[in-house]
């Protein structure tokens, strides 16, 4: 391939008005030119943009592409290495040292054993919505509290600490506060997690964090792991539940099909993961010159992988821009691929299967309480895409 590659100049590109579920037009256009484009990172450095499914999968499976934070070449100053425990931004062997002790705690079977508990948590939220009556904001009434309570139980956050803990994480995950408030909330969460780790080591309880004190991980590392479990396990699922409900309400024939046939639930969750891909982009940096799709990725250059656009690749998924709850969506990249594929994906699946099913069963007349164009979206610069709020209503009996 000798012709000049297609170039995308403005990252992050914005979504088109009226198309809240689709990748930005510039990324879809890039994919039509080929799986690999040149781009300029928001920090000004030149890089590569991956929008093709096969190419994204190949990069994610290739150890010549690094996840290390300190190697990321996107801004013109040096980034520090990932703090202890934050293994998402590490390569082997450090990555496995942290991931290995966690894997057995998030297996398919162990997560399915949480189903009943998650059903109870979900039912309590639905009871509260029903008692308060319509309309309500689905984000604060339903989508956020369910994964928050679940991750609090996994980390063993005592019941009496949960309200203040949730306020802190809301502040630093929401992206809606000033820099000073953000730093204050981040520091408070770090301090809280440090105290929590010390408490679990002194008096273990029945939770994952207490079990991990039995490993060779230090308190500082356990605090980092707790932060990553929190960050990865809360905002992602919360935004899938709210944006997913919005997508179903905007595709009434799909919602009707799902409502009529509970056996479609598991597949619908996979399809919503593919279609929405709320964790929309990740980065990798070439450790050496790598030939990829006929181009040379120079050592030290950082690639942006658009999972969202790759999950809309017509070469992999027929009619990719249609939400189709009957589709075979397995193989989507919403949880990534390669050694960093989401550790908590089986938990996320149980949460979504339970919560979507219970919501649509409880409120057969659920609908938006505002015109669709008034639903406010998160900015494209946010790590996780979603709606800021989702006003919904229903016919109260």
Per the CB < 8 A criterion, the answer to whether 315 and 53 are in contact is yes
Closer residue to another protein (CB): 232 or 342: 342
Q: What is the DSSP letter of 61?
A: T
Contact between 158 and another protein by CB under 8 A: the answer reads no
Tell me, by CB under 8 A, how many residues bind another protein. Answer: 25
The residue among 294 and 315 lying less far from another protein, judged by its C-beta, is 315
Indicate the residue among 100 and 326 with the shorter CB distance to another protein.
Answer: 100
DSSP 141-176: IIITHHHHHHHHHHHT--GGGHHHHHHHHHHHHH--
The verdict on 64 binding another protein (CB under 8 A) reads no
Instruction: Write down the least CB distance from residue 137 to another protein, Å.
Output: 33
In the shown chain, the binding pattern of residues 24 to 63 toward another protein, with x for contact by CB under 8 A and - for none, equals ------------------------------------xx--
Calculate the dihedral angle through the C-alpha atoms of 363, 364, 365, 369, rounding to the nearest 10 degrees: 40
Q: Quick check: 376 binds another protein (CB under 8 A)?
A: no
Q: Of these, 16, 33, 100, 326, which contacts another protein (CB under 8 A)?
A: 100
Distance, in Å, from the CA atom of 321 to the CA atom of 256, rounded to the nearest integer, reads 19
- Point out which span in 26-34, 108-116, 175-183, 357-365 binds another protein (CB under 8 A): 108-116
Give 211 or 298: the residue with its C-beta nearer to another protein. Answer: 211
Stretch that binds another protein, among 101-109, 117-125, 190-198, 236-244 (CB under 8 A): 101-109
Contact 333, 310 (CB under 8 A): yes
Rounded Cα distance, 202 and 115, in Å: 30
Stretch that binds another protein, among 100-108, 124-132, 143-151, 160-168 (CB under 8 A): 100-108
Q: Is 339 in the site for another protein (CB under 8 A)?
A: yes
Pairwise CA distance, residues 55 & 229, whole Å: 28
| 299 lies in the binding site for another protein (CB under 8 A) | no
Q: Which residues of 292-321 are buried (b: 16+ CB within 10 A; e: fewer)?
A: bbebebeeebbbbbbbbbbbbbeebbeebe
Q: Cα separation of 229 and 154, whole Å?
A: 9
Query: Which one of the spans 28-36, 46-54, 298-306, 343-351 is the region binding another protein (CB under 8 A)?
Result: 343-351
Start-to-end CA distance of the chain, whole Å, equals 64
Residue length, the chain? 397
User: Of residues 64, 99, 201, 388, which one binds another protein by CB under 8 A?
Assistant: 99
Q: Could you identify the residue written with the tokens 């070469």?
A: 315
| 143 token code pair | 């989508």
Closest separation between CB of residue 272 and another protein, Å?
17
Q: Which is nearer to another protein, 144 or 332 (CB)?
A: 332
User: Is residue 331 at the binding interface for another protein, with CB under 8 A as the rule?
Assistant: yes
* Number of neighbouring beta carbons within 10 Å of residue 252: 11
The CA radius of gyration of the chain, in Å to the nearest whole number, is: 21
CB under 8 A: which stretch of 96-104, 199-207, 243-251, 302-310 binds another protein? 96-104
The residue (of 168 and 281) whose beta carbon lies closer to another protein is: 281
Q: How far is it, in rounded angstroms, from Cα 290 to Cα 302?
A: 12
Interface with another protein includes 346 (CB under 8 A)? Answer: yes
Q: Mutual orientation of helices 162-174 and 219-249 as an angle, nearest 10°?
A: 70
Interacting residues toward another protein by CB under 8 A = 60-61, 99-100, 103-110, 330-331, 335-339, 341-343, 345-346, 349
């Amino acid at each position: 391939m000798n012709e000049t590659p297609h170039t995308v100049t403005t990252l992050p590109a914005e979504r088109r008005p009226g198309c809240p579920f689709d990748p930005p037009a510039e990324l879809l256009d890039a994919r039509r030119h080929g799986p690999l484009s040149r781009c300029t990172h928001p920090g000004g450095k030149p890089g590569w943009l991956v929008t093709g499914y096969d190419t994204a999968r190949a990069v994610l499976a290739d150890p010549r592409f690094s996840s290390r934070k300190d190697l990321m070449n996107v801004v013109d100053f040096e980034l520090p290495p990932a703090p202890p425990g934050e293994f998402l931004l590490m390569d082997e062997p450090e990555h496995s040292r942290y991931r290995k002790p966690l894997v057995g705690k998030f297996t398919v079977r162990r997560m399915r054993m949480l189903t009943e508990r998650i059903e109870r948590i979900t039912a309590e939220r639905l009871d509260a919505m029903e008692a308060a009556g319509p309309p309500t904001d689905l984000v604060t009434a339903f989508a956020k509290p369910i994964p928050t309570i679940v991750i609090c139980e996994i980390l063993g956050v005592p019941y009496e600490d949960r309200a203040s803990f949730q306020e802190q994480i809301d502040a630093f995950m929401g992206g809606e506060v000033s820099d000073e408030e953000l730093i204050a909330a981040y520091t408070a969460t770090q301090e809280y997690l440090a105290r929590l780790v010390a408490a679990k080591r002194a008096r273990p309880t029945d939770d994952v964090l207490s079990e991990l004190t039995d490993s060779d991980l230090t308190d500082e590392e356990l605090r980092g792991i707790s932060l990553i479990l929190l960050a990865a396990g809360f905002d992602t699922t919360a935004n899938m539940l709210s944006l997913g409900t919005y997508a179903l309400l905007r595709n009434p024939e799909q919602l009707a099909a799902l409502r009529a046939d509970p056996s479609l639930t598991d597949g619908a969750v996979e399809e919503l993961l593919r279609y929405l891909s709320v964790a929309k982009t990740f980065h990798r940096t070439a450790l050496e010159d790598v030939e990829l799709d006929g181009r040379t990725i120079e050592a030290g250059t950082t690639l942006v992988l658009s999972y969202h656009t790759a999950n809309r690749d017509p070469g992999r998924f027929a009619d990719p821009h249609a939400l189709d709850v009957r589709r075979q969506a397995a193989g989507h990249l919403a949880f990534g691929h390669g050694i960093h594929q989401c550790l908590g994906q089986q938990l996320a699946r149980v949460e979504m299967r339970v919560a979507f099913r219970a919501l649509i069963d409880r409120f057969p007349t659920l609908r938006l309480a505002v015109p669709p164009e008034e639903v406010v979206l998160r900015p494209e610069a946010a790590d996780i895409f979603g709606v800021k709020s989702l006003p919904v209503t229903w016919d109260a009996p």
